[in-house]
Amino acid sequence: MAYSSLEACLLDLERSGQLLRIKEEVDPYLEMAAIHLRIFEQKGPAILFEKVKGSKFRAASNIFGTLERSEFIFRDTLPSVKQLIDIKINPLAAIQNPLKSLAALPAAINALPYKNPISKPILFEEINISDLPLIHHWPMDGGAFVTLPQVYTEDADKPGIGNSNLGMYRIQLNGNDYLLNKEIGLHYQLHRGIGVHQTKANNKGLPLKVSCFVGGPPAHSVAAVMPLPEGMSEMNFAGVLAGKRFGYTYIDGFCVSTDADFVITGEVFPGENKPEGPFGDHLGYYSLQHPFPVMKVHKVYAKKNAIWAFTVVGRPPQEDTSFGQLIHHITGSAVSNEIPGLKEVHAVDAAGVHPLLLAIGSERYTPFLENKKPAEILTIANHILGTGQLSLAKFVWITAEAKKSKEDNSTSALDVNNVPEFLQYMLSRMDFSNDLHFYTNTTMDTLDYSGDGLNTGSKLVLAAYGDVRRKLAAAIPENIKALNANAQLVMPGVIALNANGISIASLQENLKGSGEMLLEKQGLTMIVITEDATWMAAEFNNFIWATFTRTNPAKDIDGLDSYTINKHWGCKGPLIFDATIKKHHAPAVVKDTEVEKKVTALLSKYGY
């Protein structure tokens, strides 16, 4: 159904038993975030905090906590959205089936933003930043943050809503060196549209006008994170998903969403930065303090009875996981249509999304040859690493087999979403002499601290295609046990070793000359060095998270009996990953024990 406001959505959720009202006063310092995390972990309902300490405004979270709830919220508009995206991707299909396409026209009308003739909506009141629910999420955070913002900017060369960008970039409201009520911090990462807009404004010597919307119809939050096909505006998408046109006006030259609960307007001046962070982020670590653009606050608006929308991120999965599931549900084959030959792709949420990407492509270059080796999938991997936010991937595992062979004792299709099975499929086929392709000294995801500096590090493409080469180890080889008594089998072919007295260099020295036997005869493909091998082997997601978030491929990966020929690296034995925490890494987020006790007592009243 079309929601006119965030409150209308919450009331609809309440009618269906999907809303929890917290009536007691709650502290925005750690307590609200802890309640959210506890409810999310139990796959609980959306939460409405009716009394927020220090603010007259209510707050809501966990709105998109499960895919099922998101599908419920957008139950009336999702079919039309998917249909319009399909038309955008494949316009020829629309011509071939015009009746089906005509059915999408009413929804397409909602894609047109609506300019409110009232220049200053009477429902808004002017407030200060200090009046907002200043939610502090994790103990080491630098201050309070906006975590479900819709950050709006316009193109200085082509002003107007038609060439605008709506993105979700966290905003720091207080703390550090920010002047309260006068300055806030903008954090935006690589491959974000706001960076293009600021560059154009800087080139003209102009400040970038920024509007931050919070709340409003839930579709607007989804639009801010949606990776849309080229030429489709977030504002158009927001209207279609909401089932009503995006309403806006201009106040003092700033675009203002007339549907939002809150609006913060301000300007970013060329070259003006201040330290932003730390912030407990979605990889499960803090992103540290770095200089980012500072926004000079112009005015802050709130609707009558406004509700502050927020989320909490940390070690995945969290609520943003459900965002990703919804996006995949909506876009379907959009990514594979954008990259020729790509059949499936999966950014692994348990690893923090960008650190690990699994893909299935095609191999059509040399069908006349019997030998199977990666060719087209290498081209596809390069295309992936040059496409939008996919380019932030650090590890890309790619193959071309859609069916498992007889040696796998199964005929079911390979599934990128089944991470353990996919990795085993590839490790049993990988040629460690040819199938590993490193990208050194390159740009990285801003939140990835495995490299030696901000936005810098390396990537690794593992491309395997062909028949089974080896049976993966189901037990730990004796010569490995002799080196490390606490060696643990993580999954077939992969073991974890405690870091005490163990390093890549020591393994290479002690196991020199035995690499080929370990790999090809005993099926040992990966050795992961970690602080706690027992912990890593206890849950598959522990292995995925620690291994792929803590390693810088070019620096922290080697192999037994390795060599370089014509600048291509290979090895005769298993790969060795140093997945230990290094001095330059950001610390992992950890809950506050006293706050957890308080939350346990409060939520017990509500049956959680």
Query: In whole angstroms, what is the distance from residue 513 CA to residue 83 CA?
Result: 58
What is the CATH code for 320-463?
A: 3.40.1670.10
Q: What is the pLDDT of residue 367?
A: 75
Q: Determine the pLDDT at residue 501.
A: 86
pLDDT tens by residue, 37-80: 999 999 999 999 999 999 999 999 999 999 999 999 999 998 88
By C-alpha distance, which of 297, 248, 268 is closest to 197? 268
Residue 497: what are its φ and ψ, rounded to 5°?
-125, 145
Tell me the H-state helices in 444-574: 478-483, 504-510, 515-516, 533-538, 540-549, 553-556
The phi and psi torsions of 287 (rounded to 5 degrees) equal: -85, 135
Are 395 and 355 contacting, i.e. CB atoms less than 8 angstroms apart?
Answer: yes
Q: pLDDT band at residue 94, thresholds of 50, 70 and 90?
A: very low
- Cα(first)–Cα(last) distance of the chain, in Å? 30
6-315: CATH topology is Pnp Oxidase; Chain A (2.30.110)
Q: Give the span between the Cα atoms of 176 and 601, in whole angstroms.
A: 32
| Matching residue, tokens 């103990």 | 139
Q: How many alpha carbons fall within 13 Å on the CB side of residue 217?
A: 25
Give the pLDDT confidence score for residue 323 in this predicted structure.
83
CB 31 within 8 A of CB 600: no
Average pLDDT score over residue span 569-587: 96
Of the pLDDT bands very low, low, confident and very high (cuts 50, 70, 90), residue 111 is confident
Per-residue pLDDT at 407? 54
Mean of pLDDT values over 263-274: 94
Please give the pLDDT value at position 262.
Answer: 97
Q: Is the pLDDT of residue 264 over 70?
A: yes
- State the helix-helix crossing angle for 540-549 and 419-427, rounded to 10 degrees: 60
The percent of residues above 70 in pLDDT, for the chain, comes to 91
Q: Is the per-residue pLDDT at 429 higher than 60?
A: yes
The pLDDT of residue 233: 80
Start-end of CATH 3.40.1670.10 domains in the chain: 320-463
Q: Which of 91-95, 153-157, 186-190, 261-265 has the highest mean pLDDT?
A: 261-265
Between 1 and 299, the more confident residue is 299
Q: How confident is the model at residue 95 (pLDDT cuts 50, 70, 90)?
A: very low
Lowest mean pLDDT among 92-101, 200-209, 260-269, 327-336: 92-101
Closest CA to 436 of 384, 395, 401: 395
> How far is it, in rounded angstroms, from Cα 574 to Cα 562?
9
The burial of 130, by beta-carbon neighbours within 10 Å (0-12 exposed, 13-18 middle, 19 or more buried), is given as middle
As a whole number, mean pLDDT of residues 379-386 equals 94
- The pLDDT of residue 369 is 74
What's residue 83's pLDDT? 75
Nearest one of 168, 193, 176 to 141, comparing CA atoms:
176
Whether residue 546 is predicted with pLDDT greater than 70 in this model: the reply is yes
234-242 helix and 218-225 helix, angle to the nearest 10 degrees: 140
Residues 587, 591, 320, 543: what is their CA dihedral angle, to the nearest 10 degrees?
60
Question: What is the reported pLDDT for 411?
Answer: 45
Give CA–CA dist 383/282, Å, rounded.
25
Please check the confidence at residue 594 and state whether its pLDDT lies above 50: yes
pLDDT classification of 119: cutoffs 50, 70, 90? low
Amino acid 90: pLDDT:
46
- What is the widest separation between alpha-carbon atoms in the chain? 78
Please enumerate in sequence order all residues whose Cβ is within 8 A of that of 347, keeping only pairs 6 or more positions apart, or say none. 324, 353, 354, 356, 357, 390, 393
Beta-bridge partners for 262: 214, 302
For 319-333, what is each residue's pLDDT tens digit?
988 888 888 878 765
Mean per-residue pLDDT over the chain, rounded: 90
What is the model's pLDDT at position 104? Answer: 53
Taking the C-alpha atoms of residue 499 and residue 483, their distance in angstroms, rounded to an integer, is 11
125 Rama sector, left if φ>0, alpha if ψ -120 to 50, beta otherwise: beta
Chain region(s) in the chain for CATH 2.30.110.10: 6-315
State the residue for tokens 């990128």. 416
Sign of CA dihedral 514, 517, 522, 526: positive
Give the pLDDT band of residue 453 (cuts 50, 70, 90): confident
Please say if the pLDDT value at position 92 is more than 50.
no
pTM of the model: 0.90
The per-residue pLDDT for range 477-490, each reduced to its tens digit, is 998 988 887 899 99
On whether the CB atoms of residues 127 and 172 are closer than 8 A, the answer is: no
Cα–Cα distance for residue pair 522/527, rounded to 1 Å: 13
